[in-house]
Chain A
Amino acid sequence: MAAAAKAGEATLRHAFGNVLSFFILLLIGVLAFSIRLFSVIKYESVIHEFDPYFNYRVTQFLTKNGIYDFWNWFDDRTWYPLGRVIGGTVYPGLTLTAGTIWWLLNSLNIPLSVETVCVFTAPIFSAFASWATYLLTKEVKGAGAGLTAAALLAMVPSYISRSVAGSYDNEAVAIFALIITFYLYIKTLNTGSLFYATLNAIAYFYMVCSWGGYTFIINLIPMHVLLCIVTGRYSSRLYIAYAPLVVLGTLLAALVPVVGFNAVMTSEHFASFLVFIILHVVALVYYIKGILSPKMFKVAVTLVVSVGLVVCCAVIAILVALVASSPTKGWSGRSLSLLDPTYASKYIPIIASVSEHQPPTWPSYFMDINVLAFLVPAGIIACFLPLSDASSFVVLYIVTSVYFSGVMVRLMLVFAPAACIMSGIALSQAFDVFTRSIKFQLLRILGFSEADAGDGSSANVVPENDAVKVDKSEETIKERPSRKNKKKEKEQMEKAQAEKTSAKSKTEKRLLVLPMELSVIGLLLLVFMGAFYVVHCVWAAAEAYSAPSIVLTSYTHEGLHVFDDFREAYAWLRHNTEVDDKVASWWDYGYQTTAMANRTVIVDNNTWNNTHIATVGTAMSSPEKAAWEIFNSLDVKYVLVVFGGLVGYPSDDINKFLWMVRIGGGVFPHIKEPDYLRDGQYRIDSQATPTMLNCLMYKLSYYRFVETDGKGFDRVRRTEIGKKYFKLTHFEEVRQS
């Protein structure tokens, strides 16, 4: 009777817990979505920055012309006169996702514009990502840790910076895809189910569609498999988790045009094939070990090992030959700079020049993951006690991603989910210990007798606590494959093991408490820390990461100023120039010009052709006549330059100018950087070199600038300009906004 009542109570608790978790998850989703809406509230519902405009334009094309036209789209509005094959050079995941959402909504008679769907894609997928984090962490350390990790991920600043409403970029969906792929891998590893293995391959396919960062997955998972093999953790579940992923995943990845045969040809993928071979060799060894007597096995081992070694050597030799035959050794520049961090700064200026490829300093970590940075080590240690297949994977994930984030600040984005998972584990275990200490000792104080272990009311409490525990372990056992007779035995053993441990934990658990008053303090400190995290995240979302950078604001003592000059200029181009006119600008503004002004540009943010960019850079750094000749040869009718010296907008073309000189000089040697520098210093005042004062960029930027205040004071460079009165000879001003 009593047992039945207790079991009933346990089910009730269980059901109650499930419902509660469901609602908590719902709220976490709402939180993840709504914290990213600051940009819409503070500014308006616009697409942000540069790349998202391209994605937006592609999505528009997709929704208008359908998937087949999108797949075959040759874009003649960009890289004039070369053009660009869009269908074969973009990661289509984001576009297809947003296109599908739009189509779905429209077929449900919800008439949202494409732009609205694009703006809100990122927040929606952040909610999905936090749910995926819950699932992943639950597989590793249980539901409590899962919920904590999901809540942390919902508002981690690093992720917010890439997924506020309007930042319609690949990373927005890719992080979700990354986490769900990891979850499905762990799930397969824990259950050994082919169903999840197939899902895992599909999730990997989605990741490949979405982001170039998929190479992280296809290197991390093989690393984990190798780790498991080396540390003697090989099991058939491992085989099921890995082999289908490689075969199916590679086949599927090769379907994405932008990846294509790279999926089997480049070194980034070779690790997975190598591990695939090793896995089979090991599987064979285990199989033979199973059917042979120990003595026979020893003979076989020598045979198999020698044959295996020969095969391995042959394969490695082939791989090495393949790799050595390609100029960059088969690795792309970005991947190489991860392995050898000093690589990019030495050899590839165009990678080194991008600010998000810089190595971060310690304040970046505090800004991007805030107090999680303090909690991660505790999470790592928790994962080692005890070490399971799943927790070793998470440890591997955090170690590799934290190293990569140290090399490139951009990869902080990949590190952030790992940090959330680890901190979630750490926080939930700390809460567990502290609340347990308080609960038991409080009960004891509140007159539930001084009863010693084993009887009275305190015993009442303990089994209750344990009931949940046993329940949980039963649950995990249920998840394991119960379809095969062979497994039954093992299961029974596991069950016995679980019972043993739960009995052990029953006796231990009562002792595992800390002094109560200090637990209260510790709990309070943790809560304060969490509160600080929330405040920081809200602040980061509201102030630091919400600016669309297409609409600028500045606060002065007179109040708020809004500069909408970008859109004004693009609108002018759209309405006042011929449809087929060519507009030259530095590559940063290429995507925006094609998307908003619908005019043909020479170069854009997809920096695939260095020579073409260098041509524009050379034109900008040449004197007017030479520049006119270059631009005329490219049929350019309008030149767009962005100048912020009047309003104090620092990322204008004059500040980017040295990169134009450098990149231009890299291809056309008559442009030399020292010609633009006075004693190694970049200046535009009266000390500037004549080359600098006569180049097109200077002239276009400062033309009639002196008329604004009579002195020509540049508010970005904080100096008076060097050459104030001059006329344009080969260009004329058509519009300034």
Chain B
Amino acid sequence: MNHLILYFAAIIILLVSLSTSDSNSDLVSELLNLQSQSEAGVIHLNDQLVSRFLTSTKTPRPYSILIFFDAHQLHNKPELHLQELRNEFSLVASSFIANNVDNPSSRGKLFFCYLEFKESQSSFALFAVNSLPHIRLVGPDAKSLKDDSVQMEQGDFARMAESMADFVQSRTKLTVGPIHHPPLLSKKQIGLIVVVILIWIPFMAKKIFAGETLLHDRKIWLLGSVFVYFFSVSGAMHNIIRKMPMFLADRNDPNKLVFFYQGSGMQLGAEGFAVGFLYTIVGLLLALMTHGLVRVKSVSIQRWVMIVSLLISFWAVNKVIYLDNWKTGYGVHGFWPSSWN
């Protein structure tokens, strides 16, 4: 009798495990199917699919799912970078699929999906997502979608596709491999540009010999060099290399924007341009006074322009010193005898 019960129990367990593994592989193949149909390999989820692949399945699931929470009506808000991030997300997805073509076992372990706010509001609630951009990884063992899944931090998508891939790699132990960026120009475009340049060269050469190009206009050179100076001292290269945003939203008060970042070694875009402008304006005003204003005949114009430019210069220099002090704690002191203090 005992033996029989044990026997039955063993069979039942075997069946159950078989059926679950069977349904698991079904799910995977279904997901793979969905993936092949969707654009760039990012599956469009909705409430039904979420419940089918995530909530109603038993853990551990054989796959992880990385979900991008999207809202179409917010695409026109540039400060959220939703569209940009969405593109980067698809880049990671397509790169993952392309790099793991020969490796079906790891290809079936991670799926890239997105949820649209308008049609899947209950799923948004399920994940307790109330702000965007938001990317979440649901691991194989996650039971409660809200608590067990991992949110991708702001820092993880700061460097776009590469850092998203790093995040995925560190959490899932799957390799994403190199990101395949689309080439900047397609081959046809490059060919076209080469042809245009070839046609243009003789005309250009003729103009150069005649000496009547933009290159001979000194104002262009002057403007160009002052602009390069402005561009460099404003630290714009830093912003480009580090991909710094123009400004940040205040953490305490989301309606407020932060334009100036306290602490050296980092700066925001708007901040750099503001100070670069201050750096440049003083020199320009000084040049205006020494080269332009002296030629003006009217004394009262001279007087007013000088007053204004001196005031602005004074203010600009003071402002930069003040900002530097605020940002880096910079403070010089004269080396007076100590008895003077």
B294 touches which one: A230, A374, A381, A514 (CB < 8 A)?
A514
Q: Are B229 and A360 touching (Cβ within 8 A)?
A: no
Nearest-neighbor residue (CB-CB) of B208 within chain A: A230
Of the listed stretches A104-112, A161-169, A403-411, A467-475, chain B binds A403-411
Contacts of B236 on A, CB cut-off 8 Å? 406
Instruction: With both chains docked as a complex, state the minimum distance between the C-beta of B119 and any C-beta of chain A, in angstroms.
Output: 33
Of the listed stretches A9-17, A120-128, A364-372, A619-627, chain B binds A364-372
Indicate if B275 sits at the interface (CB-CB under 8 A): yes
Indicate if B126 sits at the interface (CB-CB under 8 A): no
Q: Are B310 and A375 touching (Cβ within 8 A)?
A: no
Q: 8 Å CB contacts to A: which residues of B270-285?
A: 271-272, 275-276, 279-280, 282-284
Contacts of B282 on A, CB cut-off 8 Å? 374-375, 377-378
CA distance A380 to B297 in the complex (A): 25
In the complex with contacts A342-B241, A539-B332, A365-B229 CB distance below 8 A:
no
Q: Are A680 and B287 touching (Cβ within 8 A)?
A: no
Contacts of B265 on A, CB cut-off 8 Å? 361
CA distance A402 to B294 in the complex (A): 30
Contacts of B299 on A, CB cut-off 8 Å? 515
Instruction: With both chains docked as a complex, state the minimum distance between the C-beta of B338 and any C-beta of chain A, in angstroms.
Output: 14
Indicate if B320 sits at the interface (CB-CB under 8 A): yes
Indicate if A362 sits at the interface (CB-CB under 8 A): yes
B333 touches which one: A230, A361, A521, A539 (CB < 8 A)?
A539
A366 touches which one: B221, B286, B320, B335 (CB < 8 A)?
B320
Indicate if B251 sits at the interface (CB-CB under 8 A): no
Label chain A's interface by main secondary structure: helix
Contacts of A405 on B, CB cut-off 8 Å? 232
Instruction: With both chains docked as a complex, state the minimum distance between the C-beta of B237 and any C-beta of chain A, in angstroms.
Output: 4
CA distance A385 to B208 in the complex (A): 23
Q: Are A518 and B303 touching (Cβ within 8 A)?
A: yes
Contacts of B286 on A, CB cut-off 8 Å? 374-375, 377-378, 426, 430
Instruction: With both chains docked as a complex, state the minimum distance between the C-beta of A358 and any C-beta of chain B, in angstroms.
Output: 8
CA distance A359 to B236 in the complex (A): 9
CA distance A341 to B231 in the complex (A): 14
CA distance A102 to B231 in the complex (A): 45
B287 touches which one: A232, A371, A377, A513 (CB < 8 A)?
A377
CA distance A584 to B306 in the complex (A): 65
Q: Are B233 and A514 touching (Cβ within 8 A)?
A: no
Tally inter-chain residue pairs, CB-CB below 8 A.
187
Q: Are B235 and A382 touching (Cβ within 8 A)?
A: no
CA distance A363 to B325 in the complex (A): 9
CA distance A680 to B159 in the complex (A): 15
Indicate if A536 sits at the interface (CB-CB under 8 A): yes
A403 touches which one: B169, B216, B232, B276 (CB < 8 A)?
B232
A514 touches which one: B221, B289, B313 (CB < 8 A)?
B289
In the complex with contacts A378-B284, A406-B238, A513-B294, A365-B233 CB distance below 8 A:
yes
Instruction: With both chains docked as a complex, state the minimum distance between the C-beta of B325 and any C-beta of chain A, in angstroms.
Output: 10
Instruction: With both chains docked as a complex, state the minimum distance between the C-beta of A291 and any C-beta of chain B, in angstroms.
Output: 18
CA distance A498 to B5 in the complex (A): 118
Indicate if A665 sits at the interface (CB-CB under 8 A): no
Q: Are A382 and B287 touching (Cβ within 8 A)?
A: yes
Q: Are A382 and B291 touching (Cβ within 8 A)?
A: yes
Indicate if B184 sits at the interface (CB-CB under 8 A): no
CA distance A429 to B294 in the complex (A): 12
Indicate if A706 sits at the interface (CB-CB under 8 A): no
Q: Are B211 and A232 touching (Cβ within 8 A)?
A: yes
In the complex with contacts A345-B241, A515-B303, A406-B291 CB distance below 8 A:
no
Q: Are A433 and B289 touching (Cβ within 8 A)?
A: yes
Contacts of A445 on B, CB cut-off 8 Å? none
Q: Are A360 and B222 touching (Cβ within 8 A)?
A: no
Contacts of B226 on A, CB cut-off 8 Å? 377, 380-381
Indicate if B188 sits at the interface (CB-CB under 8 A): no
The residue among A367, A511, A514 with the most chain B CB atoms within 10 A of its own CB is A514
Contacts of A385 on B, CB cut-off 8 Å? 291
Indicate if A8 sits at the interface (CB-CB under 8 A): no
Q: Are A373 and B279 touching (Cβ within 8 A)?
A: yes
Q: Are A230 and B233 touching (Cβ within 8 A)?
A: no
Residue positions of A touching B, CB distance < 8 A: 230-232, 301, 305, 341-342, 345, 358-367, 371, 373-382, 384-385, 387, 395, 398-399, 402-403, 405-407, 426, 429-430, 432-433, 511-515, 518, 521-522, 525, 529, 532, 535-536, 538-539, 542, 674, 677, 680
19 CB-based A-B contacts, threshold 8 Å: A232-B211, A361-B267, A362-B279, A363-B328, A364-B235, A367-B330, A373-B233, A373-B279, A374-B279, A374-B313, A377-B230, A378-B286, A380-B229, A384-B221, A395-B225, A407-B241, A426-B287, A426-B290, A525-B310
Residue positions of B touching A, CB distance < 8 A: 153, 156, 169-170, 205, 208-209, 211, 215-216, 218, 221-222, 224-226, 228-238, 240-242, 264-267, 271-272, 275-276, 279-280, 282-284, 286-287, 289-291, 293-295, 297, 299, 302-303, 306-307, 310, 313-314, 316-317, 320-321, 324, 327-328, 330, 332-335
Known contacts A374-B282, A538-B335, then 20 further A-B pairs from the complex at CB < 8 Å, ordered by chain A residue? A232-B216, A341-B237, A358-B238, A361-B235, A361-B264, A361-B266, A362-B271, A362-B272, A363-B264, A363-B330, A373-B279, A376-B229, A377-B286, A403-B232, A406-B232, A407-B241, A426-B283, A513-B294, A514-B293, A674-B169
